[in-house]
Amino acid sequence: MAAQVLSSPAPLGLSLPSVAEAPTLSQKLLSLRHVLSSGASIHEASELGFKALSSGWSDINPISAGAFINVATEQDVVAPITWATMNSVPFQVRGSGHMWINSLTSSGVVINTRPLASIAIDAASGTATIGAGTLVSEATDAAHTAHVHLPLAAVPPLRSGIDSLLSARVVTAAGELLTVTSESHQDLFYALRGAGNSFVAVTEITMRAYPEINGGMHFSRDLSFAPSAIETVAEAVNALPRIPNANVQLYMVSPAPAFTPTLILNIWYAGTACEGSKHFAPLFALGLTQQIGSANCMISADRLNESVDELAVFGGRKPPGSVMLKDLDANGVRACWNDYSSFVKVNPGAKQSAVVFQVYDVAKSLELESLRGESAYPHRQFGIAASVVAKYEDAHLDAAAGEFVDETLQVLTPKEGKNVYSNISRGGETLEKLFGSAERVERLREIKKTWDSANQFKGFASLL
């Protein structure tokens, strides 16, 4: 189907100043200022308020752009992309601000879509329409109020967000505003689900919203174990049946007030305390050192992501990395613990660092892809996402933190090779490690040539 321009940008206003030298970014921005909506704004690097806007998830490799363009409408996304292409200005589209890889220089601009945050839930039709820049916490709060589940972030209820996407409003590198679905622009629909930030700017998505389970109340516990039990815990987690409505997260953290390295299992079950206790009975039988919370601990669905919220907070230096696994290797987890506990003891300023293993069912994900068509989302065959995040303030720890992350990933990487969860990539990984295979990379490259041959959207990696 030929691309249809649903709405074209207004003329880009004033011509560039006639000067002997190449125009500055400020001069180039003059033409853009005249076509943005009244609710939009531009903050240049020299202006008050720029530093607050440019803060992000990690203070390592901070945004060095020359300006932030704060949009108020979809047309405010179309206009700067068209303007940037015409004026050869590099750009990066920003949503919530959690992307930590920054490819911009001071001559580039950030198109900030956080002001487009919105969510409208239609429980009757089972859909939710979410604006760009919406935080997971905002969406889950709205979903809980509407008595539905949205498959977002750490604890997806029964379905993944990728497989729940129905449509997306996007702006292409050519400034086209499109609605992408499984039936229109099928190549982009494939790419969006797993590699979207390398292709287009998303202004809005519509996804499935599912009926809440057990009145929106879920069984959840934190179980603490002695370090001596690491191998036993790893083997028990491997043996536990993986089902769509249950999730296990293994944490190596140093919680307050003692900040002592601690091994914690966060368990979650979409159902009653009785059902959850029965499913996780093998873990309770391991001889844990502490059960955090009451035996019948139930939490509301809007709190399901609290266990990882601390890692999502802006600020601090946070070199991250990840590797996908099929099972926990007991020896590897032990070596990982040794690396982690040694690092935080030697570097007390990094006591907020963490290693997280998210363990989940893959059968449903594989089934849904076979039923609803392929997507660019890689690594579906892996049931564990292992993430390593060093967190500290002192830049003098950068070298030690980078070494810790790299060594920990190395001991966790299986003999078959490293596969990476792109949202928590170390940086510098091959495209095959990020996207799963050479064939998948080649398919994405062909789509990229169609929609962004000039490689305006870099995402986590450059496909061209």
Other Cβ atoms less than 10 A from the Cβ of 377: the count is 21
What pLDDT score was predicted for residue 7? 42
Helix (H, G, I), strand (E, B) or coil at 58: coil
- pLDDT per position as a tens digit, 115-172: 999 999 999 999 999 999 998 889 999 999 999 989 886 554 455 778 889 999 999 9
For 118, how many CA atoms within 13 A lie in the half-sphere containing its CB? 13
Cβ neighbours of 18 (radius 10 Å): 6
- Against a cut of 0.95, is the pTM above it? no
Low-confidence ranges of the chain (pLDDT < 70): 1-20, 98-103, 153-159, 289-296, 307, 368-373
Cβ-Cβ contacts under 8 Å for 387 (sequence gap 6 or more): 320, 321, 322, 354, 355, 356, 357, 358, 421, 424
The pLDDT score that the predictor gives to residue 303 is: 82
Q: What domains does the chain contain, in order, with CATH numbers?
A: 25-115 (3.30.465.10), 214-435 (3.40.462.20)
User: For residue 187, what pLDDT is reported?
Assistant: 95
Of the candidates 416, 412, 418, the one whose C-alpha atom is nearest the C-alpha of residue 433 is 418
Question: For residue 159, what pLDDT is reported?
Answer: 59
pLDDT of residue 234: 96
Tell me the pLDDT tens digit for each residue of 6-47.
444 445 555 555 555 788 999 999 999 999 999 999 999 888
Q: 101 near 425, Cβ under 8 Å?
A: yes
Is residue 68 classed as helix, strand or coil in its secondary structure? strand
What gap in Å lies between CA 1 and CA 10, rounded to an integer?
Answer: 25
End-to-end, the C-alpha distance of the chain in Å comes to 24
C-alpha to C-alpha distance for 126 and 93, rounded to whole angstroms: 29
**Which residues fall within 8 angstroms of residue 410, CB to CB, at 6 or more apart?**
none
Instruction: Tell me what pLDDT residue 56 has.
Output: 79
CA distance readout (Å), 458 to 101, 132, 314, 340, 455: 10, 18, 22, 32, 6
Give the model's pLDDT for residue 32: 96
